[in-house]
Amino acid sequence: MVSYTEILSSNALITTSTTPLRVAVFVGGTSGIGKLTIRALVATGTPIKIYLLGRKPSQSRTLPFIKELHTLNPKAEIIFTEAEVSLLADVKRVCSLISSVESKIDLLFLSAGFAPWGGQRKETAEGHEVAQALEYYSRMLFILHLLPLLDSGRVVSVLGGGMETTYFLDMEDWELKKEGNFTIWRARPQYIGMNTIMLDRLAKENPNVTFVHSLPGAVDTGNVRRGWDGKSILGWAFIRFIEGVNWLVAFSDEESGQRHLFQSTSAAFGGRGVPWSGKAGRATVGGLFLVSNKCDCTPNTKVVDQLRDKGQEKLWGHTMEILGPYL
């Protein structure tokens, strides 16, 4: 475990001369962990340009936050960029927009998503289950489009690093479309496993980029209710349980933001980062850092090796079939 004191000490070393971040893209930064991380990053006082992607309905409530950030750090440039990131066509559009302006990106932070507690499959206009579109397909599309700009940069995907399992991963039905396959108990481990399998491959193919799959742990952002359909009694009961657990053990907003800032900037996870004298993070064979909520690494070697051997080529083919029209 990396203690909170060590986290704060590392983040205190982020200055104008030491920061590895000049340009960052936050997908999911209008709420939750993305928003908390943006606040922690801006509070370092360094010059930073942030593309804050969000849906149009979130713009009005995000503008006061951006004003707060400018007051906190006049050197920070925050650009709200409207995007419906559950739609792959819009991901392509916004990536083209950013690529037309920037020649280099230092951080791609991906945290958009929610748990579909209702258990009812809801699809986007493009035919993908909404949570999967946010937590897998759009994330991979952002990475693939922006990779040319991420030389010596970092990708952080916040979902469930280290929680991979072989038991609930269906490699014959990646989208869980077969009758009876889609439940919250199947969807969550499916999307976590898919993230790790693909990020492990991308890390191996792009050793100049640092890839982190982060497990956020308990954080009371309020997003736990987003995926509830208002009908499922079991879903409601589980949400109440999770909220109770959060009340007891959740990280504070401040600590969550600082821990994810550490994951985004520290050389503990290789690459270009703030110098770290503690224990170095241990990556998977492919080079992916699976980072726990305590900011140490959990390679989950046995499971990840099985997933890589049995599913990586299958998932790559499936993913390219889905994303191909948008690349």
Residue 270 has pLDDT above 60, yes or no: yes
49-54 vs 23-27, strand pairing mode:
parallel
Which one, of 57, 32, 129, lies nearest residue 86 by Cα?
129
If pLDDT is split at 50, 70 and 90, which confidence band does 233 have? low
Q: Residue 247: its pLDDT value, please?
A: 41
Provide the 10 A C-beta neighbour count for residue 78. 22
Low-confidence winner among 9-18, 40-49, 213-222, 255-264 (lowest mean pLDDT): 213-222
Mean pLDDT of 84-89: 98
Helices 184-205 and 138-146: angle between axes, nearest 10 degrees? 10
Tokens coding 322:
């889905």
Res 230 pLDDT > 60: no
Q: Which of 84-88, 100-104, 224-228 shows the lowest mean pLDDT across its residues? A: 224-228
- In order, the DSSP letters of 195-231 are HHHHHHHHHHH-TTSEEEEE---SB--SGGGTT--S-
Position 116 confidence tier, pLDDT thresholds 50, 70, 90: confident
The whole-number average pLDDT for the span 30-57 is 97
Q: Which of 59, 40, 74 is nearest to 257 (CA)?
A: 40
d(CA 300, CA 303): 6
The pLDDT score that the predictor gives to residue 235 is: 54
Which of these, 268, 247, 248, lies nearest to 259 by C-alpha position? Answer: 268
With bands split at pLDDT 50, 70 and 90, how would you rate the model's confidence at 228?
very low
Beta carbons of 294 and 153 less than 8 angstroms apart: no
**Eight-state DSSP code of residue 287:** S
- The reported pLDDT for the residue numbered 208 is 97
Provide the 10 A C-beta neighbour count for residue 130.
16
pLDDT band for position 248 (50/70/90)?
very low
Averaged pLDDT of the chain: 91
Q: Is 90 left (phi over 0), alpha (psi -120 to 50) or beta?
A: alpha
Mean pLDDT over 243-258 rounds to: 70
Residue labelled with tokens 């997003």: 223
The pLDDT confidence band at residue 250, using thresholds 50, 70 and 90, is low
pLDDT above 70 covers a percentage of the chain that reads 89
